[in-house]
Structures are given as structure tokens and as C-alpha cells.
């Protein structure tokens, strides 16, 4: 028997603004240090007095001493979280979910396609890959957001763009003054890069509508169902497959997911 609902207390050690409504919080466990996780797994973050909400871990598992979560203001709990700063405490439970299969990706070419606030889980994986760069093939990162303001991790995007061991492209739906880069939805970036569907695993995260278009495009370009991997977003409350909020058929996104390939997604019974 476990105290499955008992959170660990964590301290906020750093906060930065990503966009006007999005912040990234760096958390450090206050009482215990051993916290192993996989990219793609998520945390239930308690803002004391407001309850819990799920956030995917945005930092790399190769740096397990701190955890990062990127949070957009969408409701009471995230409003309250945004009011917190260095030294403030939150609760965390987890890690939950299956996470990305990092081992299975070794030796493969990797294509990361992110949209808006969907980049954080990919970022965890991307940094994991970059820390162990030699173990993976070609790495391509495509990222899009509504406007330049809505891009998260702006400094890191610049760093990725400069790296020679990563192919990186970014686009926005609507340009703003000073933007000289690509304009258009994420799939326009497929024109900028040579895809090798047979040797590549594609990881797609973002808003449902963006995922839909990107995935369609990938299949047209010859990707197999098993090679297209995404995370499903559901209202996850308990993280352990008991509260039933995130059920799809008899699968639970919090436990059987949130990472699924398209073969698995097609088998889900809504």
C-alpha cells in the first residue's frame, strides 16, 4: 500500500518567462533527491490550496537533480502557480506515464515536430539526445507557434539553430514586426528538410489541430504508423489509472500513455 496521493514537497529554484502567459519553473525536491524519469513522463504538480494539475517534465532525465515544467496560464491553479517565485514550495507526484522509448530510439534518425506549448515534452527528449549525441542518427527539430511571441525557450531555439549536429527550423503562423523567418503552419517546414521515413522516428507534440495536419503530412511522405509518435493530452487527475478522467476505451492516458505511436492510437476505442 502506498500513499499514492501524498506529494513530495519541491522548491522553486528558478522561474523564467517564456511568453506573456507562459513560464518555466525549475523545481528541486526538498526532502529526497532520488527522482528518475523518462522524457515524456509527467508530474502532478500541487499548488497548495488549489489542487493538482498534470505537467509534462520539460527537462532532461540526464540532469535529474532538478525538474522543469513549462506552464501556461489557463485557470485558477495555473494563475496561482504563476504568482509563485524562487523559494516558494509546490508539491509534486510522479513521474507518471510511459514516457518516450529512449532506448528504442538509439541509432535512429529523429524528427521532432513541436507546436506552441507542445514543445516541453520534446525538449526533455531533445536534451537527452543532445547530451548523448553520439548514440543517435540525424536529429531534426521543427517548431512552430502562432506568433514569434508565442515561441517558448527562445534562447535555446537560437542555440539549437547554431548547432551543426542538429537541423533546426522554426515558423510562425503570423509574423510580427522584426520577424524575418518562416511564416506558415508547421507542415511548411517539411519543405526545408530531407526526410528519410524508413530510418526516422517522428515525435509530434502540440495542439490537437496541429498534430492532425502534421501527422497527415508525415503519412503522405511515407512514414509508417509505428514511426509516428505523439503524446495525447487528456484531463489527468490521479496519474495512476484510477480516477478515470483520462480514459480512452479501456486504456488510460496517464498510465498506458501519454506517449503512443499511431498504430496504438488507431487501436484506441474512444
Partner 1 sequence: MQPIVYTIEKPDIAKWLERLLETAEVIAPVAGYSGEVVFSAISSPAQVLWDFENPLHPAKQFVLPQTDPIVAIKRNGQRHEVEPIYDDSRRVLFNVRSCDVKGIAFLTRMQEMEPADGSYLRRAYSLTVISLTCNTPCPLGFCVCTDSGPFLNGDYDIQLTDLGGKYLAEVGSEKGEAAVSNAANLFRTATEGEVSLRKRLETAARNRFGQETCHFASAMRRISTGRVQDALWEKISDWCLECGGCSLICPTCYCFSVRDRARDGNWIRYRIWDSCQYTAFTLEASGHNPHEQRKDRIKRRFFHKVSAQYYMRDGTVGCVGCGRCIKVCLGTADMPAVVAAIRKGKWHE
Partner 2 sequence: MLTVPTTCPFCACGCGFYLLANKGELVGVAPSETHPVSRGRLCARGWGAHEAPLWGTRLREPLVKRNGRLEPVSWAEALDHVTGRIKGLIEAGKSVGVLGSPRATNEENYLAGKLARAGLETNDVDFSYHSICRPLLAGLEEVTGEYGCSISLDDIELSETIVLIEGDLAKTHPRAAFSVMKAVEKGARLAAIGYARTQMARLSSLYLQTVPGGEGEVINGLLAGVLHASLEDRTSATAHCEGYEALRRDLTAVKATKEMHRAAEWIARAERATFLIPPTSAQGDQLRKDAAAFVTLAAITGHLGRPGSGLLMLLGRSNVRGACDMGVAPDRLPGYQPFYDGRAQQRLQGLWGKKLPSAQGLDAESLLQSVSGLIVLADDPPSVLPMRQQALAAMERMEYIVVLDAFVTPTVRAAHVALPIASFAETEGTLTSMEGRVQRVRAITDPPGEARTGWQVLAELCARFEVSASYSSATDVLREIAQAAPRYAGIGQQMLEEGWGGTLDEDFDTGKRVLHAAGVTAQTSPERPHLLAWDGVFDWGRDPLISFSPTLSRDYQSQRKLFPHGFVEMCPQDADELGMRPGWQVKLTSLRGAAVVPIQVRTDLTPGVLLVPYAFREHVAKVLGVERLTAVKAERA
- Binding positions for partner 1, 91-150, rule CB under 8 A: 91
Q: Among partner 1, partner 2, none, what binds residue 207 when CB lies within 5 to 8 Å by partner kind?
A: partner 1
Q: Among partner 1, partner 2, none, what binds residue 197 when CB lies within 5 to 8 Å by partner kind?
A: none
Binding mask 40-79 for partner 2 (x = CB under 8 A): ----------------------------------xxx---
Q: 91 with 120: CB under 8 angstroms? A: no
234 binds partner 1 (CB under 8 A): yes
Binding mask 6-45 for partner 1 (x = CB under 8 A): xx-x------------------------------------
Stretch touching partner 1 by CB under 8 A, among 81-89, 106-114, 190-198, 217-225: 81-89
Task: Give CA–CA dist 101/135, Å, rounded.
Answer: 14
Q: Among partner 1, partner 2, none, what binds residue 240 when CB lies within 5 to 8 Å by partner kind?
A: partner 1
Beta carbon of residue 79, minimum distance to partner 2 (angstroms, whole number): 8
Residue of 87, 67, 129, 97 whose CA lies nearest to 246: 97
Q: Among partner 2, partner 1, none, what binds residue 235 when CB lies within 5 to 8 Å by partner kind?
A: partner 1
Residue of 227, 228, 255 whose CA lies nearest to 243: 255
Beta carbon of residue 140, minimum distance to partner 1 (angstroms, whole number): 27
ω before 179 within 30° of 0 (cis)?
Answer: no
**Nearest 5°: CA angle at 152, between 123 and 95?**
40
Task: Give CA–CA dist 89/115, Å, rounded.
Answer: 30
Residue of 120, 92, 85, 91 whose CA lies nearest to 12: 85
Q: For the CA atoms of the chain, what is the radius of gyration?
A: 18
Amino acid at each position: 500500500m502506498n500513499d499514492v496521493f501524498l506529494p513530495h514537497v519541491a522548491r522553486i529554484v528558478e522561474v523564467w518567462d517564456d511568453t506573456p502567459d507562459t513560464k518555466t519553473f525549475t523545481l528541486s525536491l526538498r526532502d529526497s533527491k532520488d527522482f528518475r524519469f523518462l522524457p515524456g513522463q509527467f508530474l502532478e504538480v500541487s499548488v497548495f490550496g488549489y489542487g493538482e494539475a498534470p505537467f509534462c517534465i520539460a527537462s532532461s532525465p540526464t540532469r535529474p537533480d532538478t525538474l522543469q515544467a513549462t506552464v501556461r496560464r489557463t485557470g485558477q491553479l495555473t494563475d496561482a502557480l504563476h504568482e509563485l517565485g524562487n523559494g516558494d514550495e509546490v508539491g509534486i507526484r510522479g513521474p507518471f506515464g510511459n514516457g518516450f522509448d529512449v532506448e528504442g530510439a538509439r541509432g535512429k534518425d529523429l524528427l521532432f515536430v513541436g507546436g506552441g506549448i507542445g514543445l516541453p515534452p520534446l525538449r526533455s527528449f531533445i536534451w537527452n539526445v543532445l547530451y548523448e549525441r553520439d548514440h543517435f542518427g540525424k536529429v531534426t527539430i521543427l517548431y512552430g507557434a502562432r506568433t514569434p511571441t508565442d515561441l517558448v525557450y527562445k534562447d535555446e531555439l537560437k542555440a539549437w539553430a547554431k548547432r551543426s549536429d542538429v537541423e533546426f527550423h522554426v515558423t510562425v503562423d503570423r509574423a510580427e514586426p522584426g520577424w524575418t523567418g518562416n511564416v506558415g503552419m508547421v507542415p511548411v517546414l517539411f519543405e526545408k528538410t530531407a526526410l528519410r521515413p524508413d530510418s526516422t522516428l517522428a515525435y509530434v507534440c502540440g495542439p490537437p489541430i496541429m498534430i492532425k495536419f502534421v501527422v497527415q503530412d508525415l503519412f503522405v511522405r511515407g512514414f509508417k504508423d509505428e514511426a509516428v509518435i505523439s503524446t495525447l493530452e487528456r484531463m489527468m487527475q490521479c496519474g495512476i489509472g484510477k480516477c478515470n478522467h483520462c480514459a480512452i476505451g479501456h486504456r488510460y492516458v496517464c498510465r498506458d500513455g501519454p506517449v503512443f505511436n499511431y498504430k496504438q492510437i488507431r487501436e484506441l476505442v474512444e
